[in-house]
Amino acid sequence: MTDRVDQLKKLLVAEPDDPFCLYSLAQEYAKREEYVQAVEWYDRTLHADPDYHYAYYHKAKALEAQDRVLDACTTLRLGIDRARAAGEQHALSELLGYLDELT
């Protein structure tokens, strides 16, 4: 049976910049605790769509899991700026709450 990562990568062939697919790959790597790869896929997600707000949140979680708290805080601040500019109050609240936990 083909695993989920392989399936998602096949979907990317048709649309290599699909933020949902990129984000899903990042989430799969995070579930496997393969945080370096997860961060790479979150970065690709944010390159494809800088307003994919929850990618900032989960990228910060993957960075924290690697003991990279300062990088996680930087990521959260970028996400906070994007969410604030987009008027995304729920995402903004989540990002601010997580930043508060880390600082």
- Do 65 and 102 form a contact (C-beta atoms < 8 A)? no
Domains of the chain: 4-102 (1.25.40.10)
What pLDDT is recorded for position 99?
A: 98
Whole-prediction pTM = 0.90
pLDDT one digit per residue (tens) for the chain, 103 residues? 358 888 888 888 888 899 999 999 999 999 999 999 999 999 999 999 999 999 999 999 999 999 999 999 999 999 999 999 999 999 999 999 999 999 9
Between CA 103 and CA 22 the distance in angstroms is 29
pLDDT of amino acid 2: 52
In this predicted structure, what is the pLDDT of residue 14? Answer: 85
What pLDDT is attached to residue 89? 97
